[in-house]
């Protein structure tokens, strides 16, 4: 999980810190690595606080019920929750309407993605049935540029 980064470090250090292969813990079938034994103990004592949202998939992808890869270097802690993004653009798009996007992502994670095979879930929501509010990357980029008057090109 998190490509080996320490989930506790996001909260204590404010940045991704590589975990050590010899300091680890398993949670819900996933292995987490830690930079220190103290971080491992904190994690075990309160896993709900430290696990990334949406199984570590990109939070902006989950807004559209699409579990796509998250890059642990692109993250944000919001209201004590760790959100991971697939890159800087997905994070910027997510932040355009953060409150709404968290509600949508939480909904899709809980109602269809958390227990689904991520490959099937992605296929279903990309090619078969898009969510009603689906936007392409091009549409999101145009919206971002309109809202911020900043170019992403």
Q: Residue 25, SS3?
A: strand
Answer yes or no: are the C-beta atoms of 63 and 34 closer than 8 Å.
no
Distance of CA 115 to the CA centre of its chain: 16
Structure tokens, 132: 């009603």
pTM > 0.85? yes
pLDDT tens digits, residue range 9-46? 999 999 999 999 999 999 999 999 999 999 999 999 99
């Amino acid at each position: 999980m998190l490509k080996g980064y320490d989930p506790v470090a996001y909260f204590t250090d404010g940045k991704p810190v590589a975990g050590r292969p010899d300091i680890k813990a398993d949670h819900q079938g996933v292995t987490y690595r830690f930079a220190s034994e103290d971080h491992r103990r904190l994690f075990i004592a309160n896993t709900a606080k430290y696990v990334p949202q949406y199984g570590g998939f990109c939070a902006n992808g989950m807004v559209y019920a699409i579990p796509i890869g998250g890059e642990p270097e692109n993250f944000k802690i919001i209201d004590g929750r760790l959100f991971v993004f697939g890159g800087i653009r997905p994070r910027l798009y997510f932040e355009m309407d953060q409150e709404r996007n968290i509600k949508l992502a939480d909904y899709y994670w809980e109602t269809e993605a958390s227990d689904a095979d991520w490959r099937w879930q992605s296929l279903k929501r990309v090619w078969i049935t898009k969510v009603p509010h689906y936007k392409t990357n091009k549409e999101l980029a145009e919206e971002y540029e309109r809202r911020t008057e900043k170019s992403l090109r």
